[in-house]
């Protein structure tokens, strides 16, 4: 089964209610591009307002706490974001790993909590520039993913549907310069192997692997033409309907694979 390309906007800490009109425009455009699955991860405060109005796109969160509730001032649980209308959560983004000292073990605990709350997850991974230049990017990403993804377990059903991996090299995020198609192809192939090792051919062979890091309408088509690229996690270029849907349009074009 070939899944539809998955194009996810990560609004990061951008967006007040004034941005709802942009979300509406994205939702309307998504209704005309049904070959692509379009999703938005706005700040927590906009999950419910966008979910309430959206007819086509799914809405997700950018993080969740690993506990279901309790004395955790300022935190928000997977159950809460699901209650607000979120269908998925982005976990392990490098901005959380770096800015909030999130370890692989913590990210894994969050992933397990999210799945238990009925959410899908987008598990981020990616190396920094020093690791890339030292030639150990593949080993680093494999180890990071192995320690962050939920452990294979009989209770873990529907991996292919519920787990997406986002490869986001840190040096490509917000820099305007995406990774080369060769680098993306190599890493996605390695991630596919790991997913099959962990979850088996049927599930691990089908889960989506998406790329993130300076994806824009101008470079989207060449990135989507790389084998094993099943979509994109888009930061800056997801903030306007025009640029975000330009990327979705490129994902809907037929490619050779």
- Between CA 99 and CA 33 the distance in angstroms is 35
Active site residue 33: no
The minimum distance between CB 214 and ligand PGA, in angstroms, equals 4
The answer to whether 230 contacts ligand PGA (rule: CB under 6 A) is no
Stretch that binds ligand PGA, among 24-32, 57-65, 81-89, 231-239 (CB under 6 A): 231-239
The answer to whether 164 contacts ligand PGA (rule: CB under 6 A) is no
Stretch that binds ligand PGA, among 28-36, 125-133, 230-238, 247-255 (CB under 6 A): 230-238
> x/- string (CB under 6 A) for ligand PGA, residues 169-208?
----xx----------------------------------
Nearest to 126 by CA among 165, 159, 175: 165
**E strand or H helix that includes residue 17:** none
The answer to whether the CB of 26 falls within 8 A of the CB of 245 is: yes
The answer to whether the CB of 256 falls within 8 A of the CB of 225 is: yes
Which residue lies nearest ligand PGA, judged by its C-beta? Answer: 235
The minimum distance between CB 168 and ligand PGA, in angstroms, equals 6
Stretch that binds ligand PGA, among 25-33, 59-67, 138-146, 209-217 (CB under 6 A): 209-217
The CA dihedral of 34, 36, 37, 41, to the nearest 10 degrees, is -120
Nearest to 218 by CA among 198, 242, 247: 247
For ligand PGA, the closer CB: 168 or 198: 168
Pick the binder of ligand PGA from 187, 215, 247, 248 (CB under 6 A): 215
Q: Which residues, numbered 67-96, are part of the site for ligand PGA (CB under 6 A)?
A: none
Nearest to 150 by CA among 209, 107, 202: 107
What's the distance, CA 167 to chain centroid?
A: 8
The answer to whether 41 contacts ligand PGA (rule: CB under 6 A) is no
Active site residue 93: yes
The answer to whether 234 contacts ligand PGA (rule: CB under 6 A) is yes
The answer to whether 168 contacts ligand PGA (rule: CB under 6 A) is yes
Query: If binding means CB under 6 A, how many residues of this protein chain bind ligand PGA?
Result: 13
The answer to whether the CB of 165 falls within 8 A of the CB of 209 is: yes
**Burial class for 202, CB neighbours closer than 10 Å (0-12, 13-18, 19+):** exposed
Residue 18 tokens, joined: 């004034």
Q: Which residues are catalytic?
A: 93, 168
């Amino acid at each position: 089964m070939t899944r539809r390309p998955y194009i996810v906007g990560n609004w990061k800490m951008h967006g007040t209610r004034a941005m709802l009109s942009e979300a509406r425009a994205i939702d309307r455009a998504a209704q005309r591009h049904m070959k692509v699955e379009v999703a938005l991860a706005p700040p927590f405060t906009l999950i419910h307002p966008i979910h309430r109005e959206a007819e086509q796109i799914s809405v997700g969160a950018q993080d969740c706490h690993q506990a279901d509730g309790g004395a955790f001032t300022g935190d928000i649980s997977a159950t809460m974001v699901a209650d607000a209308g979120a269908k998925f959560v982005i976990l392990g983004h490098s901005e959380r790993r770096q800015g909030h000292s999130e370890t692989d073990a913590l990210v894994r605990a969050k992933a397990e909590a999210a799945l238990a709350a009925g959410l899908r997850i987008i598990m981020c991974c990616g190396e920094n520039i020093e690791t890339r230049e030292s030639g150990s990017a593949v080993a680093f990403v494999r180890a990071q993913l192995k320690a962050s993804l939920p452990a294979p377990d009989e209770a873990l059903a529907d991996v292919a549907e519920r787990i997406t991996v986002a490869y986001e090299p840190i040096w490509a995020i917000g820099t305007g310069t995406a990774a080369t198609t060769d680098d993306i192809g190599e890493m996605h192939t390695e991630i596919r192997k790991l997913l099959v090792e962990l979850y088996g051919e049927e599930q691990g062979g089908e889960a989506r692997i998406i790329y993130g890091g300076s994806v824009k309408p101008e470079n989207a088509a060449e990135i989507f033409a790389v084998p094993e690229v099943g979509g994109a996690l888009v930061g800056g270029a997801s903030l306007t309907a025009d640029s975000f849907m330009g990327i979705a349009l490129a994902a809907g074009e037929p490619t050779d694979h």
